[in-house]
Chain A
Amino acid sequence: MHIASQNKEKQRSELSYGRKFDQSGRELRTMKSRMKTLLVAAAVIVTAGIVTESAGYAQGASRYRIAYIARAQGDSFAAWLANAIQAEAKKYPDVSVTVFDGQSRSDLIESHIENAVQNKFDLIIIQPFDPTIEINPVKRAMAKGMKVIATNPKFSDDSVPSVDASPYQQGAENAKLALTQIPQNARVVVLLGPAGNPHSMGRRDAWQKEFFAKRPDVKILDEQIANWNKDEGMRLTEDWIQSHGKIDAVISMNDNMAAGAIEAIKGSGATTYPLIYGVDGTPEACLLIKDGKMASTTLQNANDLAEKSMKLAHDMLTGQATNLHEFIQAELITKDNVDKYIELHKQLGNIK
């Protein structure tokens, strides 16, 4: 079929001594030169990025330089905290903050710590991803004279100053409210965070001690891991509605999974909603509480964490620090006070 064109091609390739031509006879640029163009373009973009970044850095030539190492900027709470830290830093004219993204990887967090020491930062604020692993590079940095603060969560080793929220208290505030709300002989399901996550375990522990231990009449139909995810919480709840029928309460260790449960219940055509409890105080949870679809959540306020962390950092740098371990209070959000928190999220730009 293409004999004619194939012949032509053959002729051309015989005549071209290795050079390549397209159909209209123009010489094709070789692979090598294309690759080169691509690499040059990439290099230009990267250099431009670095120059802009360091220009911003030179502008803030402050007395104290703080490295903030975020657990993962892809995690919505960690992103809020990183933004809050940067906003809070503006209140201290003698301080500049540079944010590094840990991308949920302990090895990357470790190299951020080492680089901060190498680049002679004055202090590191770290939001650990896995405290049991990252404690080692932190201790090594402290041995070299680096000042370190851990925030959300703290290290179990108390020699590292910290600012944190207590997962137990976050669970307990909801559990205490549930004592009065969940009916006798209720049938409940429990949604958990990732296996071994200290915040999920701390919150679950609070529910055990503050609620389940006091209410032997309540039956746990099932308890599963939904990895903090909305779609996994939704899928589990869809299946639970099939296998268990009526569910009186959904006890979730975070708001995303609770919101997933609500989507499943909405999809099942139910007219009444079970009591649904979460933790985090996300904008979505606040709106659901306002709508009467969710019972309560507790806010882990990143603004409070940022304010206390920056104050502790400044105090440590200027030698005024006295209390090296600070906690923020978990705030219970219910229908009665939800408007205040919706307002907070509006100010943060999370609700438009």
Chain B
Amino acid sequence: MTSQKIKLGARWSALTSRYSIYLIMIGMVVVSSILSPVFLSETNFSNISRQISITTILAFGQTLLIICGMIDLAQGSVMALAGLLAVIFFKATGFLVPSLFLGVGVGVVCNLVSGVIVTRFNTPPFIATLAMQTSARGAALLLTSGQNVYQLKNFVVWGQGVILGIPTPVVFLISVTILTWYLLNHSRLGRYIYAIGGNQEAARASGIEINKVKLMAFGVNGALVGLAGVLYMSRVNAGLPNAGVGFEFDAMTSAIIGGTSFSGGIGTAIGTLAGAFIMGFLSNIMNLLGIQSYLQQVIKGAIIVMAVASDIASKSKRTKTILGNVEEKISKEKI
């Protein structure tokens, strides 16, 4: 009798804690649709998805790295460099699809360089990618002498086009979401990434080639960063060497709100997507309501803290119910 009660209670709190971030997201949709009549309109949703698609793609890359116990501070500037090279290549040759692959390739190469510095020279990812951030931005500025590139013509289809009624960036966003979900949940690489983030020495002892997995995580992140760069330049219809300053932090925010833990080993693709939508809804509804810029920043900060704190609170409540207050077990549980 009592044991059954505990089981039910545990199951309920397990459900709410597992889905707390989605409950917060749904709560935001409900509140926003009451506050603004246009919030739920189809066009507005299409706007939001287009607006968040680029930072969300970056957030997936960041999620992979953070789960693996690493970080990429160079996303914004590598994104700018990759996007710019794609734009310049397209303007010179007129090849549309190769320009996309070139952008992705540049992202991969830059990230493999960071990856090699991390794995071969044992440099902390924070430092290695900080160095890449500076170098890539410098390269983007050097390439254009600091000037913007205009008249992209057809290149805009990547960011402004529509496929079967869905905006192109959103099509990419959906594909990347599926890819990241598959990679994390159903591939060997994904399991290795969780294992390394959870306990690197244990992972090494069980025969995982740590450096190879880390390099591959950087490679995947690079492909996503390159793609984001192409989409960004195309969306704004210009090659901007100054693009994406601070985007890596927006990406990290989405990942963290979505339940990815900086201690490594914890995080999901769908959680990150939810985190990105929470950020997107927030800035959209504040713009729709005409809230003053300064106040917007204050509210944004407050909501981020509230979302993360309530998520953590509901998780630790659950742990206490089931296991007693054993903080360390949370991470083991989630894996």
Contacts and interface: CB of A to CB of B under 8 A. Distances in A.
Identify the interface centre among B43, B148, B232, B283: most chain A CB within 10 Å of its CB: B148
A221 B290 CA distance: 8
Contacts of B27: none
B235 interface: yes
B243 A231 contact: yes
Interface stretch (B139-147, B302-310, B312-320): B139-147
A242 B44 contact: yes
Given A242-B38, A242-B288, A243-B287, A284 B236 contact: no
A15 interface: no
A152 B328 CA distance: 57
B236 A230 contact: yes
A31 B43 CA distance: 56
Identify the interface centre among A1, A74, A78, A222: most chain B CB within 10 Å of its CB: A74
A31 B121 contact: yes
Given A231-B232, A242-B41, A260-B236, A74 B290 contact: no
Interface string A341-352: 000000000110
A34 B121 contact: yes
B146 A243 contact: no
Nearest to A288: B150
Identify the interface centre among B243, B292, B293, B294: most chain A CB within 10 Å of its CB: B293
B145 A83 contact: yes
A263 interface: yes
A89 interface: no
A224 B41 CA distance: 23
A351 B121 CA distance: 44
Contact of B287 (A35, A224, A284): A224
Given A230-B236, A263-B236, A224 B160 contact: no
Contacts, number: 96
Nearest to B117: A38
Nearest to B44: A242
Contact of B47 (A221, A224, A239, A350): A239
A225 B237 CA distance: 21
Interface residues of A, number: 44
A73 B145 CA distance: 8
Interface in B68-96: none
Nearest to B122: A31
B199 interface: no
A34 B287 contact: no
A230 B147 contact: no
Contact of A224 (B36, B146, B284, B293): B293
B241 interface: yes
Contacts of B238: 230, 259, 284
Identify the interface centre among A242, A283, A284: most chain B CB within 10 Å of its CB: A242
A254 B148 CA distance: 14
A78 B121 CA distance: 38
Interface in A68-85: 73-76, 78-80, 83
A235 B151 contact: no
A164 interface: no
Contacts of A231: 232, 235-236, 243
Contacts of B321: none
Nearest to A192: B293
B242 A79 contact: no
Given A238-B47, A242-B41, A283 B141 contact: no
A144 interface: no
B228 to A, nearest CB: 12
Contacts of B242: 74-76
Interface string A216-255: 0000011011000011001110111011000000000000
Nearest to B241: A74
A267 interface: yes
A73 B144 CA distance: 11
A93 B50 CA distance: 54
Interface in A303-347: none
B51 interface: yes
Contacts of B235: 231, 234, 263
B287 A74 contact: no
Given A239-B47, A239-B288, A263-B237, A75 B146 contact: yes
21 contacts: A2-B207, A75-B146, A76-B147, A79-B141, A79-B145, A221-B290, A224-B287, A231-B232, A231-B236, A234-B235, A235-B51, A240-B287, A242-B41, A242-B44, A243-B38, A243-B287, A256-B148, A259-B237, A260-B236, A268-B43, A287-B151
For the complex of A and B, the 5 pairs showing the least CB-CB separation, nearest first, are A79-B146, A239-B287, A225-B293, A243-B288, A222-B290
Given A80-B146, A235-B287, 7 more contacts: A1-B207, A76-B147, A222-B290, A235-B283, A243-B290, A268-B43, A350-B147
